[in-house]
Chain A
């Protein structure tokens, strides 16, 4: 079975500051990794995904994440945030192969203040 831990439930930052949202996972098999964003009163939107290859993955809206297999982490970063980045961010994993279900972390609420 897989599990995901998002260490910070809330992260407040000022506009134009850098941000890192942490995600650690546990799995006995190889996994794919995802970050989703949920804006207020909206559905989930895929930010980025790691399937294979380069461990540094770039996504939409200037976000990137780095897969670290030895530390079983997939932290999300952005060098300079905007007010519009205020949202909830979910890290998720799924087992490689087939159309497996996603296992989600509990989410991190990012609030960008002016």
Chain B
């Protein structure tokens, strides 16, 4: 079956522009997570959705970051007024239980 997919795979943008990243989770997975991986670093948790519960936004680094999820399907991560320090790989994962399945990521470069 299909795994977690993310689009675009690469995004280059100019400082100050807004970007939107998309994640399609595995069908039936109730939980969805966004992580950020900066160069040479581990993954940092950003936000997580679980069913119809209020999302856990505790990892979002600033109010320029937001995310939405429609039901138990697609999620979008939006970064407003991008800064150079936002350059990273943004990874999405979905989970039916204890294991998280990761997508290939979106590499964001802010010039």
Contact = CB atoms under 8 A, between A and B. Distances in A.
Chain A: interface residue count, which band? 20 to 34
Interface of A: 4, 6, 32, 36, 42-46, 49, 51, 90, 92, 98-99, 101-107
A37 to B, nearest CB: 11
Most buried by A among B50, B91, B102: B102
B98 A43 contact: no
B70 interface: no
A27 to B, nearest CB: 15
A4 B30 CA distance: 26
B43 A90 contact: yes
Contacts of A36: 102
B62 interface: no
A101 B98 contact: no
Nearest to A100: B48
A99 B42 contact: no
A3 to B, nearest CB: 11
B33 A101 contact: yes
Given A99-B95, A102-B35, 16 more contacts: A4-B42, A32-B98, A43-B4, A43-B102, A43-B103, A44-B43, A45-B102, A49-B99, A99-B30, A99-B31, A101-B33, A102-B93, A103-B45, A106-B41, A107-B41, A107-B42
Contacts of B52: none
A94 to B, nearest CB: 8
Contact of A105 (B4, B42, B45, B105): B42
A101 B59 contact: yes
A4 B43 CA distance: 11
Nearest to A51: B98
A79 to B, nearest CB: 25
